[in-house]
Each structure stands twice: as structure tokens, then as C-alpha cells.
């Protein structure tokens, strides 16, 4: 059976393959969530089998955990390890200042916890996610269920006060058109900001709002970004080795 792979998927696979060059036996890895990270998990499993690579991995979501488990990748948790050598994750949008928007897959909180515990964060992506100014991808904000409608209004007021007009804030929905619930039991609202002028200012204001757990802004956390192209080539920015 022939499986068609889109040009974006070819780019994602190329970036995932390049990221494997950073992995060495004995490492503790963080496994990201999303379509690009899934390519890395798949290729990592192949390398474990074919080359005898020895690693232990912390997944950032139930979906990634299940994929890694099905591929017989050794798993651990943050409770069982003091640090992570390398986390490999995707991004929904990135700029050349190493700022990211993540959370399209709904795992932003656990992704940020794992990234914060890692010595090195490597982002794998394709060129369609590159932006001169973040905001073209809706910004996910994770909120607790209690008082969610009130928190949503507070968030809308915050962004309005910061000069973002006509902002559309919507609850994330699942396939059944019900409110999406994260692995930690929270909700997500997505903010259509179009263009974020000062990412750190927005992050500071949102994270101080009662009821907000975390945002999808990953600022200055990534040290390396690998951008895959459909022809199999890659562009690497940032630190080239760890």
C-alpha cells in the first residue's frame, strides 16, 4: 500500500531525523506532543531497534506516552529523574528570537514543565511555522474549570487593555464538539490575536490572572530549532550540539 506524504510531512520527518543526531546513549529524553514530535518518536524507536540506542524518555502527554509505549520505547517520569538531557518537541509557530507558540495539541502545560526540566530544548518544525511576528497561530491559554467563564472574561479584558482589539477568544473543542479537557483536567481557550507585539508583556499579564494555569508562549526556552524541508534538507538555527 502506498501512503501519500504531504510536503509538510516530509519536512517534519526530515527535521525529526536531524534531531536524532543530537541523541546519545544514556540520555534521558523529553518527548514532545504533536504531529512533528510523533515523527521523532517513530524514528527514535527505529534507532533503538536497529542501533541498540539506550535511552529513557519522559512523555509530555497521554497521546505521546501511548505512542512511545506501543513502540516499546523505555519510559520514565519526572518523579523518577532529577533532570532531562534533551527535550525534542514541535511548535505551532516560531520566530527567529526563539519564541514559540505551542499547545495546538492541547499539551502545553506538561510540555512546558518537561521543557523547564531539560538542559536543552530542541524544536523540530517545518518552514510553514516560521513567522516574523508571533500571533498568526491562535494562542492557547490553559485555565481551570472552576469559574471558567469568569476567567475567560478576565483574559479578554487583559488582552483588550493591552491594545488587542476585536479579539476572538473561544473554548477549545474536541471531536464531539464538547469543551476540550487537557490531561490535567483543565480547559483551553484560544486567542486569535493575529499579531503579538510584545510577547513577554502579554505572558506576564496573562500568567498573573487568577484561573490561568499556563499559556502557549514558550519564550527563550528553545536553544536549537531544526527546520525541515520537503526535499529532505534542514536548516538549523541556534546551538548545533549539546
Query: Which residues are designated catalytic?
Result: 111
3-state helix, strand, coil in the chain (%, to 5): 35, 25, 40
Task: Give the contacts of 237 (CB within 8 A, at least 6 positions apart).
Answer: 96, 224, 225, 227
CA 1 to chain centre: 31
Distance from C-alpha of 111 to C-alpha of 131, rounded to nearest angstrom: 21
User: d(Cα 183, Cα 162) in Å, to the nearest integer?
Assistant: 30
Q: What's the CA gap between 55 and 28, in Å, rounded?
A: 6
- Grid cell 483536567 is found at 185
Strand order across the beta sheet in which 121-126 lies: 56-59, 28-31, 86-89, 121-126, 224-228, 234-238
Neighbours of 105 (CB within 10 A): 21
| Angstrom distances, CA of residue 236 to CA of 76, 125, 127, 225 | 29, 10, 11, 6
Q: Which of 43, 86, 103 is nearest to 68 (CA)?
A: 43
- The residue whose grid cell reads 506501543 is 70
Amino acid at each position: 500500500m502506498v501512503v501519500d506524504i504531504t510536503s509538510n510531512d516530509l519536512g517534519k520527518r526530515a527535521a525529526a531525523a536531524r534531531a536524532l543526531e543530537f541523541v546519545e546513549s544514556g540520555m534521558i529524553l523529553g518527548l514532545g506532543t504533536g504531529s512533528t514530535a510523533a515523527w521523532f518518536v517513530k524514528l527514535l524507536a527505529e534507532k533503538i531497534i536497529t542501533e541498540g540506542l539506550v535511552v529513557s524518555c519522559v512523555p509530555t502527554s497521554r497521546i505521546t506516552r501511548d505512542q512511545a509505549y506501543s513502540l516499546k520505547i523505555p519510559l520514565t517520569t519526572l518523579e523518577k529523574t532529577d533532570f532531562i538531557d534533551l527535550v525534542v518537541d514541535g511548535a505551532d509557530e516560531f520566530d527567529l528570537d526563539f519564541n514559540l507558540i505551542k499547545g495546538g495539541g492541547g499539551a502545553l502545560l506538561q510540555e512546558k514543565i518537561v521543557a523547564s526540566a531539560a538542559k536543552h530544548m530542541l524544536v523540530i518544525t517545518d518552514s510553514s511555522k516560521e513567522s516574523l511576528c508571533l500571533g498568526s497561530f491562535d494562542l492557547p491559554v490553559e485555565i481551570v474549570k472552576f469559574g471558567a467563564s469568569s476567567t475567560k472574561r478576565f483574559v479578554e479584558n487583559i488582552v483588550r487593555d493591552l491594545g488587542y482589539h476585536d479579539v476572538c477568544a473561544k473554548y477549545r473543542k474536541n471531536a464531539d464538539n464538547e469543551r476540550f479537557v487537557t490531561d490535567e483536567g483543565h480547559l483551553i481557550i484560544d486567542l486569535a490575536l493575529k499579531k503579538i507585539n510584545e510577547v513577554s508583556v502579554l505572558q506576564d499579564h496573562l500568567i498573573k490572572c487568577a484561573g490561568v494555569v499556563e499559556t502557549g508562549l514558550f519564550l527563550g526556552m528553545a536553544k536549537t530549532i531544526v527546520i525541515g524541508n520537503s526535499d529532505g534538507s534542514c536548516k538549523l538555527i541556534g546551538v548545533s550540539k549539546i
